[in-house]
């Protein structure tokens, strides 16, 4: 009987609903990475090419993928996703499945390969490499026929087998009206899984991650990493924007959100956008609305016609990084103490509130079995002034929290006052509020689908 009791106190909570795969967890922890739109559109002032462009327009004079990678790393990004083939069908590698590629361009006398250069640069600078390959092809003669599905699967296999590990395969939902045969998404997904089984597949419905529903880089204030996909396909038959933005509380599948946005007013470089860079304050607002709302941030930084990221863009990224470092440089809760309304099985070492402060991702506080309404309190050694709280759920066992509040003790009267409130937490939630001064805060989970698991709290 004693042994049974001991074993019971060592039991971890059961998973709640769908949970992320190992690859999805590694992807979520990346948080912030670079999008690179580059191709003929860079030289024609177009966002969507016609597919009839002369390959001769693609001729960067000083292409430097190492500069892209260096810029991304210095900006705090964890990877780069490049538009290997956009809707115009132009391939940034010498594809055997197309006659509209860098091979037909004057760049490096037709001997160049942007994907090879970028994948090598990413490895050199410790970044992960991802590819955007559009199913839409406004150049290929087989597009719109049944044959094209095999052509596109071959195109994918070529890319995914030639340049080392790929962390994300990005599928744009846009397509032309000339489609007589539907895309064979099952074939496309099988091809990705065959050559890059660890790659996260992005589309309106995943299965690895989903579009957030806008190009502003902003997730919903409520953002579940769960979705239902029955009856939907990427593109014109995608889920409603509201669903993409907020997810589905009791959705069947784990499909977290990725928020994409461009540093400039367009996706591809154009001289007309040189003065349209987002300000640091705008970028911080985007960061809080994406990473701070349980989504990953994919920030587009388009190289110019020389093939380099412009100095203005690089400086803005560094300013953005410095601002983030300023905001999150000093965690006021680092040396605090924590207590909770209850702890699972009374096992304070394994499930106690101190785990929210220990900086280990894989330890967490959770209350008694069957308890979804619970709270924990953090006591600092002196009064501090703060205006940001960062919370994390232990999502390897599912996303649970649906509503919470944050309070602090008002030093003037000793009473609790509410300073912030939210719905979902997920992998990471960041809330900002007017500065308050206090030595004690309390986080109360008011609604959850199962006993909450909180593994990190920070104050700034």
Name residues of the chain where pLDDT drops below 50.
Answer: 1-7
pLDDT for the residue numbered 173: 82
Collapse the DSSP code of 170 into the 3-class scheme (helix H, G, I; strand E, B; otherwise coil) and give the result: strand
Alpha carbons 307 and 59: distance in angstroms, whole number: 9
Domain ranges of the chain: 22-327, 337-459
Q: Which CATH number fits domain 22-327: 3.20.20.80, 1.10.300.10, 3.40.47.10, 3.40.950.10?
A: 3.20.20.80
What is the reported pLDDT for 411?
94
Q: What pLDDT was estimated at residue 5?
A: 44
Contact criterion met (CB below 8 Å) for 118 and 71:
no
Within 13 Å of residue 77, how many CA atoms lie on the same side as its CB? 30
| pLDDT, position 182 | 87
Q: How many CB atoms lie within 10 A of CB 411?
A: 12
Q: How far apart (Å, rounded) are the C-alpha atoms in residues 296 and 287?
A: 9
Question: What pLDDT does residue 384 have?
Answer: 97
Residue 60 C-beta-side C-alpha neighbours within 13 Å: 23
Q: CA–CA separation, 396 vs 380, rounded Å?
A: 29
> What is the predicted pLDDT for the residue at 3?
41
Correct CATH for 337-459 of 3.30.465.10, 3.30.950.10, 2.60.120.260, 3.40.50.11030: 2.60.120.260
- What pairing do the DSSP bridges indicate for beta strands 226-227 and 295-300? unpaired
- Name the token pair of 38: 């580059």
**What is the pLDDT, as a whole number, of residue 174?**
81
| DSSP3 helix / strand / coil % (the chain, rounded to 5) | 30, 25, 45
Structure-token match 């000083």, residue found? 62
Please report the pLDDT score of residue 179 as a whole number.
Answer: 62
Q: What is the pLDDT of residue 10?
A: 63
**Tokens linked to 400:** 């649970």
Predicted TM-score of the model (pTM):
0.96
Structure tokens at 301: 């930084």
210-232: buried (b, 16+ CB within 10 Å) or exposed (e) per residue? Answer: bbbbeeebbbbebbbbbbbbeeb
pLDDT at 4: 42
Which residues make Cβ contacts (< 8 Å) with residue 135, sequence separation at least 6?
A: 152, 171, 172, 175, 183, 188
CA atoms of 2 and 34, how far apart (whole Å) = 55
CA distance 323 to 336: 25
- First vs last Cα of the chain: how many Å apart? 47
């Amino acid at each position: 009987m004693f042994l049974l009791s001991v074993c019971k106190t060592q039991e971890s909570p059961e998973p709640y609903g769908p949970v992320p795969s190992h690859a999805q967890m590694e992807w979520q922890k990346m948080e912030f990475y670079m999008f690179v739109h580059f191709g003929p559109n860079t030289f024609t002032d177009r966002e969507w090419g016609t597919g009839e462009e002369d390959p001769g327009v693609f001729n960067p004079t000083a292409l430097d993928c190492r500069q892209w990678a260096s810029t991304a790393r210095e900006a705090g990004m964890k990877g780069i996703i490049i538009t290997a083939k956009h809707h115009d069908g132009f391939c940034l590698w010498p594809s055997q499945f197309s006659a509209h590629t860098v091979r037909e361009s004057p760049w490096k006398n037709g001997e160049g390969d942007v994907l090879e250069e970028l994948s090598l640069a990413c490895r050199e600078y410790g970044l992960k490499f991802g590819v955007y390959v559009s199913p839409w092809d406004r150049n290929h003669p087989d597009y719109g026929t049944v044959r094209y599905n095999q052509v596109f699967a071959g195109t994918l296999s070529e890319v995914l087998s030639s340049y080392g590990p790929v962390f994300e395969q990005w599928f744009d939902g846009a397509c032309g009206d000339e489609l007589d045969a539907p895309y064979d998404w099952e074939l496309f997904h099988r091809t990705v899984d065959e050559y890059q089984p660890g790659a996260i597949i992005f589309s309106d419905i995943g299965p690895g991650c989903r579009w957030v529903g806008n190009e502003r880089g902003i997730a919903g204030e409520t953002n579940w990493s769960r979705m239902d996909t029955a009856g939907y396909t990427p593109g014109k038959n995608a889920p409603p924007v509201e669903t993409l933005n907020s997810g589905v509380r009791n959705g069947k599948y784990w499909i977290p959100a990725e928020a994409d946005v461009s540093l400039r007013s367009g996706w591809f470089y154009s001289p007309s956008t040189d003065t349209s860079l987002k300000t640091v304050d705008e970028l911080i607002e985007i960061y809080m609305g994406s990473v701070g709302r349980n989504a990953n941030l994919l920030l587009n930084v388009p190289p110019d016609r020389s093939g380099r990221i412009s100095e203005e863009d690089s400086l803005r990224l560094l300013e953005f990084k410095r601002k983030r470092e300023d905001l999150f440089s000093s965690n006021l809760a680092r040396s605090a103490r924590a207590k909770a309304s209850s702890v699972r099985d009374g096992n304070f070492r394994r499930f106690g509130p101190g785990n929210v402060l220990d900086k280990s991702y894989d330890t967490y506080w959770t209350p008694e079995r069957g308890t979804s309404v619970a709270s924990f309190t953090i006591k600092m050694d002196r009064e501090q002034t703060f205006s940001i709280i960062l919370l994390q759920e232990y999502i390897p066992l599912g996303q649970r929290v649906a509503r919470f509040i944050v309070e602090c003790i008002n030093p003037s009267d000793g009473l609790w006052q509410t300073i912030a409130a939210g719905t979902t937490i997920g992998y990471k939630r960041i809330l900002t509020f007017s500065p308050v001064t206090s030595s004690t805060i309390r986080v109360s989970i008011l609604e959850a689908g199962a006993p909450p698991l909180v593994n990190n709290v920070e104050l700034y």
